[in-house]
Amino acid sequence: MTSQMPTTDAEHMTHEPGTPSITVGCQTYYAFSAKVTWQTAMDHCISLNMELAIVNKGSLSRAIRDFLNNGNFDGHVKGYWIGLHDRNVEGNYEWLNGEDFVWTNWAKNQPSNATKKSPDGQDCVKMW
């Protein structure tokens, strides 16, 4: 999401004191632990004048992953939405801010475009 971290129950989607966050460089990233769709997460970020995180460098990815994996702030969340998608053209990933998509660090067998939850497959990216 503002570069602020994404979510993934709307009752947890507020930006209040105590919301888990990490600052990397001059950007602060917040972790919202609500289980929502990518679109809802994006809309929520916009309502807070933020954006889903643009995680486009290895050092930033490592810092955020360490924060998410070691934070112990919500162990039941399975990934956090980031500002990357292929909703316009399948397989053509785009950052929400229009930045070129050149750095990747996909998990093994990803992207998979799994169709378990939707027959159309996956179009939005989570970080875990």
Do residues 61 and 107 touch, judged by C-beta distance below 8 A?
A: no
Q: Mean per-residue pLDDT for 3-15?
A: 45
pLDDT band at 128 (very low <50, low <70, confident <90, very high): confident
pLDDT tens readout for residues 28-37: 999 887 888 9
Per-residue model confidence as pLDDT tens digits over 68-108 = 888 766 556 678 899 999 889 888 889 999 998 888 787 78
Calpha distance 2→53 (Å, rounded): 6
pTM: 0.80
Level-2 CATH architecture, domain 10-127: Roll (3.10)
Q: Report DSSP state, residue 89.
A: S
For the record, the structure tokens of 76 come out as 């039941």
Residue 107 DSSP one-character state: P
Report pLDDT digits (tens) over 109-124: 777 777 777 767 788 8
DSSP-derived secondary structure letter, 88: S
Instruction: Copy the structure tokens of residue 71.
Output: 């934070």
Q: What is the pLDDT of residue 5?
A: 44
Backbone φ and ψ for 62, nearest 5 degrees, come out as -60, -45
